[in-house]
Amino acid sequence: MSFIAEKFSEIAPSQTLAITAAAKKMRDEGQDVASFGAGEPDFDTPQHIKDACIEALQDGKTKYTPATGIPELKEAVAAKFLLENGLEYEESQISINCGAKHSCYNAILACCDPEDEVIIPAPYWTSYPEMVRLSGAEPYVVETKRENGWKLTADEFEEAISGRTRMLILNSPNNPTGSVYSKEELEALVEVAESEDIIILSDEIYEKLVYNDKKHVSTATVSEAAKNLTITINGLSKVYSMTGWRLGYTAAPPEIAKAIGIIQSHTTSNPTSFAQWGGIAALQGDQNMITDMVEEYDMRRQYMMSRLQGIKNVDVVEPEGAFYFLVDTTKIGLNSMNLTEKLLSRYLVAAVPGAAFGYDQSIRLSYATSLDIIKKGLDRFEEFCHAH
């Protein structure tokens, strides 16, 4: 007899966190581990954001706020959508959530009944299928192809639809593949979604981290229909190095936004009051450090691309966004758990197993770490690949 709810029986702990913990333990024991495991920026939160938060604390902004966030931050988010994406939202369509992860979970809960299916293109961010299961709905995973840049095509989407399909989860720029959908690709997907009344959850947390002059296109902008069926999720964690602050936000069609507000009011209530004031400073303050960060990531990305192309037995697609490489290890022939364990224990390199992203013949290497560590880690990874 187990006291654990049946719906948890299939839910796995986050493997991205497990490998980071194992690497940390080895490092604490004095081993020189080169870690590609990071899922967060290696920069500190900018000072003016911290200052705004400290000021809010000193001012006594320490009490409950409206459940979906303070109006000032919602206004700043609405202004961001209008200015940067050309999207017009009423304040009532916007909610501030406890991180974009929370935004995703709220949106799934608001829209999906048990038995509903949610289409998730793989490789996917590790939490999507588990969040869908937690909601009682069922993930329907569609494997995308490396030759298509790991992007879901309209045909693949159409083929995956059943009478129970409720939602499609899109993530562009993508974690773990780094792929970025073009306007045309999104239009084709939206057309299918519109004809089948399928909601699109568009996770755009890596919006600002794009390279090669690639432009991020927000799904809701491709047509009026797109706006009516898209839930746009974004947040401050990745772009402003604010992972610990837990601030994400959602813009949704009115009916869905209302449901999200109700869910949040009965579960977490508001995101931390003083953190929200830091969030305003982030959105309204100097944006120049983003350019600097993107330049630094891009330098690392280009270095890794040139190195990885020269390594035997692995294949990569050039990532155009986020801060990851999904390295295809099919030719090595080990499953990703075995591969990453061996890589960590014998070569002192930490990477995340592709199994966590629904593609077992791969590992994810993050470049949210210094160039020194990247160089050292890739030297070792090269040795490993040549020995296999």
Positions touching ligand PLP (CB under 6 A) are 39, 99-101, 125, 171, 175, 203, 205, 235, 237-238, 243, 248
Question: What is the per-residue DSSP string for 95-118?
Answer: EEESSHHHHHHHHHHHH--TT-EE
Give the helix/strand (H/E) hosting 295: helix 288-309
Question: Which two structure tokens, joined as six digits, stand for 21?
Answer: 């913990």
User: Is 96 or 348 the residue whose CB approaches ligand PLP more closely?
Assistant: 96
Residue with token string 């080169």? 34
User: Is 107 or 385 the residue whose CB approaches ligand PLP more closely?
Assistant: 107
Q: Name the minimum Å distance from CB 44 to ligand PLP.
A: 16
CB 219 within 8 A of CB 74: no
Q: Which of 91, 133, 89 is nearest to 108 (CA)?
A: 133
Interatomic CA distance for residues 260 and 189, integer angstroms: 25
User: Is 137 or 205 the residue whose CB approaches ligand PLP more closely?
Assistant: 205
Taking the CA atoms of residue 124, residue 326, residue 339 and residue 129 in that order, the dihedral angle to the nearest 10 degrees is: 0
Question: Which two structure tokens, joined as six digits, stand for 182?
Answer: 């073009």
Q: Name the minimum Å distance from CB 176 to ligand PLP.
A: 8
Q: Name the minimum Å distance from CB 268 to ligand PLP.
A: 12
Residue nearest to ligand PLP (CB): 99
User: Is 321 or 377 the residue whose CB approaches ligand PLP more closely?
Assistant: 321
Instruction: Tell me the pairing of strands 165-171 and 199-203.
Output: parallel
Q: Which of 89, 87, 101 is nearest to 14 (CA)?
A: 101
User: Is 238 or 301 the residue whose CB approaches ligand PLP more closely?
Assistant: 238
Q: Name the minimum Å distance from CB 333 to ligand PLP.
A: 28
In 223-271, where does DSSP find H-type helix? 224-229, 254-266
Q: Name the minimum Å distance from CB 123 to ligand PLP.
A: 11
Residue 294 CA neighbour count, 13 Å, CB half = 18
User: Is 40 or 298 the residue whose CB approaches ligand PLP more closely?
Assistant: 40
Q: Name the minimum Å distance from CB 385 to ligand PLP.
A: 26
Furthest C-alpha separation in the chain: 60
Q: Name the minimum Å distance from CB 238 to ligand PLP.
A: 6
Give the helix/strand (H/E) hosting 316: strand 315-316
User: Is 176 or 377 the residue whose CB approaches ligand PLP more closely?
Assistant: 176
